[in-house]
């Protein structure tokens, strides 16, 4: 049996869980950092967004088209979000999964994000950059930490607004 490979990050938002969920899902392009480390498109105007709820998609769109990062598997506003995730260098059928929980906490919401399923990709997959499992999972944790830090910055604006 293969050992599960999961990267996990936690952040705190000074917002109620429902609003934290809305910022995560409706303002994604504002907190999803730009540049080749975070976006597959090299276009400076690419947009990362969720389309719809359960059964919808997480996509990155630019002038050349739409790349489906993954399908939304669970959509429970204020509580839980789960979606497939694949990089542009994934072959058809290669998928991982991201689960995000919005947990009520004193003064706001604890956002717990787990990106799992990496064990389903071969050890020499390009996404691993030649790293062993521990180093790769640490790298993915830092990748998500960068994104959730940006999420916290967007969420800390005086009045989060959907644009």
In angstroms, the CA 22 to CA 30 distance is: 12
Positions of E strands within the chain: 6-13, 47-51, 57-62, 65-76, 80-85, 96-105, 108-116
Q: What was the pLDDT predicted at 157?
A: 87
Please provide the DSSP assignment of 149-163 as one string. HHHHHHHTSSS----
23-32 per-position pLDDT tens digit? 999 999 999 9
Predicted TM-score (pTM) of the model is 0.93
Per the CB < 8 A criterion, the answer to whether 20 and 109 are in contact is yes
69-104 per-position pLDDT tens digit? 999 999 999 999 999 999 999 999 999 999 999 999
What contacts 132, CB < 8 A, 6 or more positions away?
none
Q: What was the pLDDT predicted at 1?
A: 67
Residues 35-57, mean pLDDT to the nearest whole number: 92
Q: What was the pLDDT predicted at 159?
A: 65
Per the CB < 8 A criterion, the answer to whether 112 and 10 are in contact is yes
- 14: confidence class by pLDDT, cuts 50, 70, 90: very high
Which residues share a beta bridge with 5?
Answer: none
In angstroms, the CA 102 to CA 64 distance is: 34
Token pair of 12, please?
A: 């705190």
138-160 per-position pLDDT tens digit? 999 999 999 999 999 999 987 64
What contacts 76, CB < 8 A, 6 or more positions away?
none
pLDDT value at 63 more than 80: yes
């Amino acid at each position: 049996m293969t050992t599960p490979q999961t990267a996990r990050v936690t952040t705190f938002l000074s917002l109620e869980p429902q609003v934290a969920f809305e910022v995560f899902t409706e303002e994604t392009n504002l907190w999803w950092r730009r540049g080749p480390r975070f976006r597959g498109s090299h276009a400076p105007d690419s947009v990362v967004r969720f389309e719809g709820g359960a059964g919808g998609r997480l996509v990155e769109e630019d002038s050349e088209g739409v790349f489906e990062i993954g399908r939304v598997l669970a959509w429970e506003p204020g509580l839980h979000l789960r979606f497939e995730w694949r990089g542009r260098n994934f072959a058809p059928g290669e998928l991982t999964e991201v689960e995000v929980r919005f947990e009520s906490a004193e003064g706001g919401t604890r956002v717990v994000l787990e990106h799992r399923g990496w064990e389903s990709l071969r050890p020499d997959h390009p996404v691993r950059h030649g790293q062993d499992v521990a180093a790769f999972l640490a790298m993915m944790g830092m990748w998500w930490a960068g994104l959730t830090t940006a999420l916290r910055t967007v969420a800390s604006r005086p009045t989060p607004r959907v644009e």
